Structure 1
Amino acid sequence: MTDGSRTVADIIAGRYGELTRSERRLADTISENYPVSGLGSITTLAENADVSTPTVARMVQKLGFKGYAEFQARLHQELEATLSNPIAKHDRLARNVPDTHILNRFGEAAMDNMRRTLSQLDQETFGGAAALLSDLDRAVYFVGGRITGAIAGYFYTHMQVIRPKTTLMSSNSGSWPQHMLNMAKGDVLVIFDIRRYEQDMATLARVASENGVEIILFTDQWASPVTKFARHTFRVHIEVPSAWDSSVVTLFVVEALIEAVQAKSWDKTRQRISQLEGLFEQSRLFRRPG
């Protein structure tokens, strides 16, 4: 019996070391164009991986599925979940609404998302991302989509105070080539891409990666296609009883990274904040008592 909260890709990664050479070749084939690569017939998948159909049958059972049909059903569920629009999500949730207040339902879902995300979040990934963002020799660029662009802007606003050489890219992909012109090998590109993944994000990530740019990705539990180009990926659980996905845990990880980065160079950060406060004072930006 497989864990319903984990994707097939998670299950394969967790059991990869137990697979035979042929099964690993099969697993790699599935990963190349996941999850679409596993949606054809068992014969087609076997031929694409250059293995026998019994090898496919054995591996899916080793992964905890009763057979190829159940394996494919899980992939179809994942694909449907990533393509769901707000109306489809609302209608699915409306079928079985518990008789509890929305605040309680939402709170429970958000806390469950937090627990699941933290249980799967690799501290080495977190530390590696913090190290890249702390390296002042690298320029850092931030970009998000139609909704996640707001989180990219939030991250950028804080990082701009902590360190120099930061740039917020517009969610409009038409402006991206000009930014890419300035990206140098070793620079960092922070991408936010959650389900209904935006096609241009994968193109941006591919071109940036080919030019030596290090990518930090914030995505969901199903994982954006950008994952294959990212050096560090944060897979955050986002489902709540709403037509919209939740940004609560994504923002939590972002704020934890902000603290980790500023703590690495607090003396310089403190100096920058002090200078900024002086500029605020000169411009009379904030209300003063009296």
Structure 2
Amino acid sequence: MPTIAEKLKSRELDLTRAERQLSAAILENYPIPGLGSITELADLAEVSTPTVARMVQKLGFSGYPEFQHALREELREIISNPVEKRAEHAPALPESHMLNRYAVGVYDNIRATLENVTLAEFDALCDLLADTDRRVHIAGGRLSGTLAQTFYLHLQMIRRDVFMIPPRASWAHSVLDLLPGDTLILFDVRRYENATLLLAEMAHERGVDVVLFTDQWRSPIQKLAKYTFAARIAVPSAWDSGVALLLLVESMIAKIQEDHWETVKARTDELEKAFDRTRLFRKFT
């Protein structure tokens, strides 16, 4: 089932001005604003309580209590640890092989992720990342750092001035080099790391454009992000899947490479000469 955040984003054009204002208030610190009373949410968004009630029904809920219950369930999923996730999935797992069950979960994640991608934003980010007048910095969390590293290695082969920000112990040095107009790509999935949020805040204060890759519940970094790409991550496992996020990353790499092939080819030719001199790869001659 789609999250409430996904429903709000997909129905954005169908909402009235007041409802869009309400939607923005909910998404800014999602899902916390919707956990209070209907009056508190209305006051926060500076709209009327009937506006809240109407939008809740537009999203398919019978009323505010059902909407709030759904948000509480999402919050429970967001903060769950690997042991809790395993216990949740175990009783309902079918008897078929794990490979098949996992593949079905990944397929569903990819499908749901693609349904919520805005192609205009996808293309706009690719154009931004291809602009060599703007430097690019990339960082991830404890596990999502592997996705960040993948993005960095490919993008660095495509263009110059791409930098990987090191782990928290030494990333303060990298903050010194963040300049207005730079782009910072961050990966942050549940349980959302405080260090990644702090890095986003410090970068934003320095005039850097923040780009967020996150999950269906959306990291709090989204309130600072110029672009947010939310992918489905839940699978029948104690750990989350990064396949849908990897699909977005690799698709962006492919588009930038295709759109700027002549430049990419020249850079790749130089790189291959360096590989030959260093004898990095085995020669079959």
Q: Distance in 2 between matches of 1:73 and 1:275?
A: 57
RMSD: 2.0
| Residue identity in the other structure for 2:104 | E
Q: Which has the higher contact order (CA 8 A, sep 6+)?
A: 2
Tell which deviates more after alignment, 137-146 or 272-281: 272-281
The percentage of counterpart residues that share the same residue type is: 46
Could you tell me which residue of structure 2 aligns to residue 80 of structure 1? 76
Q: Distance in 2 between matches of 1:52 and 1:162?
A: 50
2:182 is aligned, of 187, 192, 197, to: 187
Could you tell me which residue of structure 1 aligns to residue 106 of structure 2? 110
Confirm whether residue 234 of structure 1 aligns to residue 233 of structure 2.
Answer: no
Shift of the 164–103 alpha-carbon distance from structure 1 to 2, 3 Å rule, reads: same
Q: CA offset at residue 199 of structure 1? A: 1.6
Could you tell me which residue of structure 2 aligns to residue 69 of structure 1? 65
Q: CA offset at residue 235 of structure 1? A: 0.9
Q: Distance in 2 between matches of 1:261 and 1:128?
A: 11
Confirm whether residue 148 of structure 1 aligns to residue 144 of structure 2.
Answer: yes
Could you tell me which residue of structure 1 aligns to residue 219 of structure 2? 224
Could you tell me which residue of structure 2 aligns to residue 131 of structure 1? 127
Could you tell me which residue of structure 2 aligns to residue 44 of structure 1? 40
| Residue identity in the other structure for 1:283 | T
Shift of the 9–289 alpha-carbon distance from structure 1 to 2, 3 Å rule, reads: closer
| Residue identity in the other structure for 2:109 | N
Q: CA offset at residue 41 of structure 1? A: 2.3
> TM-score, normalized by length of structure 2?
0.92
Q: Distance in 1 between matches of 2:92 and 2:218?
A: 27
Q: Distance in 2 between matches of 1:54 and 1:208?
A: 38
Shift of the 48–285 alpha-carbon distance from structure 1 to 2, 3 Å rule, reads: closer
| Residue identity in the other structure for 1:109 | G
Deviation per CA, 1:139-177, whole angstroms, max 9, x where unpaired? 11110000011111111111111111111112x223222
Structure 1: which 5+ residue stretches go unaligned?
none
| Residue identity in the other structure for 1:265 | H
| Residue identity in the other structure for 2:274 | L
1:234 partner SS: strand
User: How many residue pairs were aligned?
Assistant: 285
1:231 partner SS: strand
Confirm whether residue 252 of structure 1 aligns to residue 251 of structure 2.
Answer: no
Shift of the 70–132 alpha-carbon distance from structure 1 to 2, 3 Å rule, reads: same
> TM-score, normalized by length of structure 1?
0.91
Deviation per CA, 1:181-210, whole angstroms, max 9, x where unpaired? 112211111111111011222222222223
Structure 2: which 5+ residue stretches go unaligned?
none
Q: CA offset at residue 19 of structure 1? A: 4.7
1:33 is aligned, of 29, 34, 59, to: 29
Tell which deviates more after alignment, 196-205 or 28-37: 28-37
Tell which deviates more after alignment, 37-46 or 121-130: 37-46
1:215 partner SS: strand
